[in-house]
Chain A
Amino acid sequence: MASRKIYKKLLFYLGIILIILFMTIPVYILFRVSFAVPEDVLTSHPKFFITRFEFKHWQQVFNSGNLWPPLYKSFIVATFTMIFALVISAPASYAISRFDKKIKYAVILSLFFTRMFPNVGIALPISVTFLKWNLTDKNIGLIMAHLIEQLPFIAWILVSTFETIPFDLEEAASIDGAGRIKTLLKVVLPVAAPGLAVAAMFTWLNSWNEFTYALYLSLSTKTLPLQIYYYVLRGGFFQQAAYSTILTIPVLIITFALQRYIRSDYLGGAIKG
């Protein structure tokens, strides 16, 4: 019986290790190629482990003048898309979550209706409109385009989050003298922090990696994914890898910064007692 338990545990951990490897090996390969001596990887039997470091490729990327403007643009666009999406969606989702069940789902479904069309299908008319409004090649234009894509999803995530917060909490706050806005800011939002963190992370990552709208709405300054796309088509193998590695670094930082808010027991303290 005990040995069966050990086997089960072993299998469990083996599964976890396999999943981790499956996720991390491609990132490692990117990193590895970005520092590779050409003859170590450009062969039919490339070396998996790094035995020699070559910093030339990173130097070329840093000296090319093509790194900082796209990196900055991507960062600004992703961050403000996240902020605006939260500011717009959080109160709206809170209100929706308090609707009658039927109305709530009708509203959510109608929001998703806008996502029924593929981006490539609506990117042209959207970019035509943005061009008329003089919003191409501008951060604010791209942020607005990204919001079109992100708002329905973030609203969906947040409605589900607010739904799980018991109405009793708000009533308790009201008895203690808090108004509706104060209740939302001081009671509901802190309790909804994990959901907000998930929504923020989701929006930031989607905006950071977004390609179609960036392609249509950028001309002189590109976003980082667009820059990588051009390197994939035109550049050398090593610079592609270096750019792609750079693309993953902010993702790791943001994920690390926000993951601590994601806890399964977040309602525990609120409804205890």
Chain B
Amino acid sequence: MNYKKITVLLLSFIMALSLFAGCGKKESGPATLRITMGLGEEEWKVMREDVFPAFEKANNCKIEAVQIEASDVVKKLEAMKQANKMDIDLIAQDNMALAPLVDKGLVEDISEFKNKIPSEIIPSLISVGEFDGKLYFFPFRPNVEINFYNEAKLNQYGLKPPANWDELFNLAKTLKEKEGVGKVGIKAVFDGNTTVQLFEFIRQAGGDPLVLNDEGSVRAYTFLKELWPYLSFDSLKADWNTTNRFLAEESMYLAANWPFGVNVIVKDGGKKEIKAYGGFSGPVKASKVLGGDVLGIPKGSPNKELALKFIEYLMSKDVQETLASKLAWPSARTDAYAKVEDWQKPYFDAINEAMKVAQPRPNLVYWADVDKALNDALKEIVVDGKDVKATLDKYHQKIEEAKQNSSK
């Protein structure tokens, strides 16, 4: 038998063995806590090197952390629940995507453990995890969109990042006149991304997004209709992911996005001219949507007690300070302080500035209807050019109907 044949046989044997990868029995040993998070590479590194080891040592356990994006968590848990085989002990989930988890009964009601939340946790973060008075999620990581801007380009035209709506309008208009195309972006993909920004505009004008046809809402949508012709074409494709690219590739000189963009645009992309600030105020006030991640325990979690311990650990002062210092995450606690790296400092300041005016979104069982109403209204007003008041009246009615149906 020649070498060629032996090599082929060996490779075939190894490949055949690989078929059954993972099929063996689990070895007994320390308990394994399986958690899911949606994080970037840098964030995982800090978790694996600076956060997990101390807990594993103290509790003689092993943490198996897997990357699952917020939008995929529901699918995974749904399958596991239906199969009556829950493999996940703890989820860190985007607080913008909680309703389906509660709605489908995928997470535990943890109201009885509410006393485990330290008194130093920022109170508004607790309400984010409550639905109909019951606690389903513990606070973990607050987050807020910051406004990124291309300092070099703005300086080139003698412009400054806008502090209010008038300045925003003038900036958008000036950039369009100078460059021939709009360079200010909003996320106008007409989904949850846009909802965040609509909440901010409406609240900045003193309106209530759940009412939608009040004076503030009319004012916000009217302003967006006026601003629309001066915005970047890429606004229609801008979500939390693509906005980073549009800023880095300079098709947008000003746009709001989540702070993870700092690592993507500035650290990896080397675009040091992209700076950030807390954002602009509206005619009534400054307002931002409070985002971030919360911690939940899936129904049927095999290690519920250990998961609860880990939640307490993640809310502790030490961990919150580590996350703030190493990742420039704003802290969930009032007593956790951070010393971030020099290059991160301006961005961290922007996050903290925005956090001061951050308000949570209400948790509603009819959230999907509100989301759709806000986006459909924007589409009809800015794209189709329909009348602001009449359109908002129509969608106010739809929200009211959804509200009534949900209470039946």
List the interface of chain A (C-beta within 8 A of B). Answer: 38-39, 41-44, 46, 64, 66, 72-73, 76, 79-80, 124, 127-129, 131-132, 136-140, 143, 215-216, 219-222, 230, 232-239
Contact = CB atoms under 8 A, between A and B. Distances in A.
A140 B270 contact: no
B249 A76 contact: no
B69 A76 contact: no
Nearest to B179: A44
B22 A38 contact: no
A230 to B, nearest CB: 5
Contacts of A221: 21-22
A124 B79 CA distance: 6
B82 interface: yes
Given A127-B79, A132-B83, A219-B66, A138 B250 contact: no
Contacts of B251: 44
A216 B245 CA distance: 28
Contact of A140 (B19, B83, B263): B19
A234 B45 CA distance: 14
A43 B66 contact: no
Interface stretch (B36-44, B317-325, B339-347, B365-373): B36-44
A138 B271 contact: no
Contact of B270 (A42, A76, A138, A232): A42
B270 A39 contact: yes
Interface string B1-28: 0000000000000010011111100000
Contacts of A140: 19-20, 23
B260 A76 contact: no
Contact of A72 (B18, B83, B241): B18
Contacts of B41: 64, 66, 234-235, 239
Interface stretch (B70-78, B196-204, B385-393, B395-403): B70-78
A230 B67 contact: yes
Given A38-B271, A44-B249, 6 more contacts: A42-B249, A79-B15, A131-B85, A139-B22, A222-B67, A235-B268
A54 B154 CA distance: 29
Interface string B255-292: 00000100110001111000000000000000000000
B64 interface: yes
B108 to A, nearest CB: 20
B87 interface: yes
A76 B79 contact: no
Contact of A139 (B20, B40, B64, B263): B20
A220 B80 CA distance: 15
Contact of B78 (A44, A66, A124, A219): A124
B264 A139 contact: no
Most chain B CB neighbours (cut-off 10 Å) among A64, A131, A137: A131
Contacts of A128: 79, 82-83
Contacts of A216: 75-76, 79
B231 interface: no
A73 B19 CA distance: 9
A44 B19 contact: no
B83 A220 contact: no
Contacts of A143: 19
6 contacts: A46-B249, A124-B75, A127-B79, A216-B75, A232-B241, A235-B40
A76 B248 contact: no
B66 A220 contact: yes
Contact of A215 (B15, B38, B75, B84): B75
Contacts of A132: 83-85
B69 A42 contact: no
